[in-house]
Copies of this chain bind each other. A is one copy, B any other.
Amino acid sequence: MHTDLVAALDIGGTKIAGALVDGGGRILLRAQRPTPAQEDGDTVMRAVEGVLHDLTGSPLWARAGSIGIGSAGPVDATTGTVSPVNVPGWRDFPLVKRVRAVACGLPVELIGDGVAIAAAEHWQGAARGHDNALCMVVSTGVGGGLVMGGRLHPGPTGNAGHIGHISVDLDGDPCPCGARGCVERIASGPNIARRALANGWRPGPDGDASAAAVAKAARAGDPPAVASFERAAQALAAGIAATATLVEIDIAVIGGGVAGAGDVLFTPLRRWLRDYVTLSFVQHLKVTAAQMGRDAGLVGAAAAALHAAPDATAAGVGG
């Protein structure tokens, strides 16, 4: 039997998704469970096992050569453990060992969810063909991952690219992470909404106080809504510029719900980037919207597994 597929798991605080993916990035089989995020660790693991059983029960499973896991972080690829901030029952939880037990000993590759997004966008999406890329998710939080020299850069523990928690305002507001002025503390959806409200924006009759509602108000010219997106764009620009200056990237790809605001975010972001991207070697930097949508985590986890186990490719070598 050729092992021309990989299994992929995308583990977040809301849902646990699984898939069998081929060497071209196509999803052939899907499975999903809600994450019982507030339950104990074994209960959360049983949801993962349920997803895995939906995959292993398929005749396609015999063609899977390895498993890629993209998990909410922090993760620790050196020990195969995860400690997702939003899943308190998992602290140094031995996810790799537990998944391998269900999956008959297949090799398992663990990366953070931001790294998985970068793998997906580089393989199939907006960063395709770019050897040096930052891919970000701007949503409830701000995460990211890096491609350098044509290869994914998970870092030793699988968490590299964590742009949401770099400080761009060293005297700024305290961040839940313990630092001050982090990109996430300024640019995440909840912080965009909080700042708009504090400066006088008011939700419409539907009571929607989300960043998406602020974006709608900003498109209509509401000053505190516009100002809140301006500030988020400034923080994102400083963080993206810092990344480009440190590791040399030529494209920044931005996805997630806040990126759905479109020009309300991207127009001031490109303007602010001209202020912070000043050195000659970073001035060709492009910023663009992500293309992979909701499957990015699964496709990226699959990419990581394919990359780590090059035998398990569409060419059908191995197995």
Contacts and interface: CB of A to CB of B under 8 A. Distances in A.
Given A153-B247, A155-B248, A159-B248, A169 B171 contact: yes
Interface stretch (A25-33, A50-58, A216-224, A273-281): A273-281
A107 B280 CA distance: 25
A83 interface: yes
Nearest to A231: B170
Contact of A177 (B131, B167, B234, B278): B278
B247 A247 contact: yes
B166 A169 contact: no
A241 B146 contact: no
Interface string A242-283: 110111101000000000000000000000000111111100
Interface string A139-151: 0000000101000
Interface in A166-203: 166-171, 175, 177-181
Given A165-B278, A168-B170, A242-B167, A247 B180 contact: no
Copies in the complex: 2
Contacts of A246: 146, 160-163, 166, 242-243, 246-247
Given A162-B246, A246-B146, A281 B132 contact: no
B167 A167 contact: no
Contact of A234 (B74, B161, B170): B170
Interface residues of A, number: 47
A210 interface: no
Interface of A is mostly: loop
Interface in A96-152: 131-132, 146, 148
Nearest to A176: B278
Contacts of A171: 169
Contact of A157 (B153, B234, B248, B276): B248
Given A177-B279, A247-B246, A281-B76, A155 B167 contact: no
Given A167-B168, A169-B171, A162 B245 contact: yes
A238 interface: yes
A235 B156 contact: no
Contacts of A280: 74, 76, 83
